[in-house]
Amino acid sequence: MHLEVKTTAGKVRGRTADGVARFLGIPYAAAPFGANRFAPPAPALAWDGVRDAWEHGPTAPAPGYPPPMDRILPAVVVPGEECLNVNVWAPEAAEGAPVMVWIHGGAFVNGSNSLPTYDGTAFARDGVVLVGVNYRLGAEGFLLLPAGTANLGLLDQVAALRWVQENIATFGGDPGNVTVFGESAGAMSIGSLLAMPAADGLFRRAVLQSGGGHHVLSAATAARIAGYVADEVGVSLKELPQVPPQRLVEAQQALTVQVQTAPDPARWGEVTANAMVYEPVVDGDVLPDIPIRRIASGSASGVDLLVGSTRDEHRLFLAPSGAMDRATATVLQAVAGRYGLPGDALDEYRAVRPGASPGVLLSDVMTDWFFRIPAIRMAEAHPGAYVYEFDWASPVLDGRLGSCHALELGFVFDTLRSASGLVGQEPPQELADAMHRAWVAFATTGDPGWEPYGQERSVRRFGTTLETVRDPRGATRAIWEGIR
């Protein structure tokens, strides 16, 4: 069955089945190429008649993941230039329903709204209008050109949120009850949105899964990265806008290898710590300051917040390649020192996991630095925030993935069959029911079903059991106090 809806650019025709209406590939801004390349998002071009919204729209240029990661995190590639598009799932005949806007992850260089795991059918089934957003990635979205506009990928997200404000009521959603949620780079994006004047008032609630408001680049570092990109492709900075997108993708891959093999802080600055050559940039305009500082100063006042991480985030980046098995005590000590941990800090980690290998402990330390501690600091900076931890272990790779990065996504979206590369063949549906239900409740009322973090440091644990715990692994949390 077909359903037509009017948007500000023209009518779109979606499909309905089992009480859910689906509209795919709707442009929220003009194609960011040609005259619009490396420029802030321009309004979508209007169309005559009715546009079929039956297929996923084009995806942003991206390298995809290298083996063996590509088997765990498969990519969907849809060619075309209209990559600034949204997908919408809505309850059929909805009116005034809560709205959730999904911002995908992928280290700011990968990902799209068309992955099957991000299908919004379950949210629409449960009374939510779900919007999935594509935005510019890599150089197209985060390269800082001389006299150029910073953070184009973030401005794309702002444009999508404005599209929601202007159009979502015609899909049955309430523009006054919008929750933006994302994972990894998507969550880091939301950390930036909470700090951006341009995003003020565009959403009421936010969910940050495995990403916070700490990992950004200074304008000076971003400018150096642009110079390295120009050197890599053999052109001047002024000529970079004429370089084909795929060539810039290749340059990004080459620079990532360089920083991973020779992490010299004098050359790479903040990039040394996480090897992400493209991140949000503190330019003083689009992003005035480091997000966590802005949030602590009240930039997110009035926004309900839910933040959290998985128990073993970094195993996704260490286990598939065998790096976790190869890690030595020397490597573990070096990484801990690079993060600024005191000499006896690893004793606290060993106390949590007696007899654990250096690789497992390395994952624990890196997980805390990159994901867990930023989530906690976000909650500390925003009174009333809710905190969760996902603690179910995947059977994939003989269990070595543990509760790794991105594992919770199939549970949140209730799309476990689509997430089998991470969750395996028999994941617990009851855990998906509980986690999905909590996200729906938060988007609807601002209360996911447990008490805020507060002075008790309350954390909801989603694992083999569902429980609220006080300050889990408090000793390892405490050793990061005072360390950025």
Q: What is the pLDDT of residues 285-323, one digit of tens each?
A: 999 999 999 999 999 999 999 999 999 999 999 999 999
Q: Give the pLDDT band (50/70/90) at residue 406.
A: very high
What percent of the chain has pLDDT above 90? 95
> What tokens appear for 303 in the block?
């926004």
Mean per-residue pLDDT, 182-206: 98
Mean per-residue pLDDT, 228-248: 97
Q: What is the pLDDT of residues 95-115, one digit of tens each?
A: 999 999 999 999 999 999 999
* Active-site residue, selected from the candidate residues 214, 405, 408, 436: 405
Mean pLDDT of all residues in the chain? 96
Alpha-carbon radius of gyration of the chain: 21
Active site residue 184: yes
- State the DSSP string of 91-158: ETT--SEEEEEEE--STTTS--TT-GGG--HHHHHTT-EEEEE----HHHHH---TTPPS-HHHHHHH
What pLDDT does residue 89 have? 98
* Active-site residue, selected from the candidate residues 279, 313, 389, 408: 313
C-beta atoms surrounding 26 within 10 Å: 24
27: which strand partners? 85
Q: Give the pLDDT band (50/70/90) at residue 214.
A: confident
- CA nearest to 32, candidates 17, 45, 20: 45
Residue 135 has pLDDT above 80, yes or no: yes
Mean per-residue pLDDT, 184-212: 98
Active site residue 405: yes
Question: Is 0.95 topped by the overall pTM?
Answer: yes
Structural domains in the chain plus CATH codes: 2-218+279-296 (3.40.50.1820), 304-478 (3.40.50.1820)
Q: What is the pLDDT of residues 3-43, one digit of tens each?
A: 899 999 999 999 999 999 999 999 999 999 999 999 999 99
- CA nearest to 22, candidates 56, 47, 46: 56
* Active-site residue, selected from the candidate residues 112, 114, 184, 394: 184
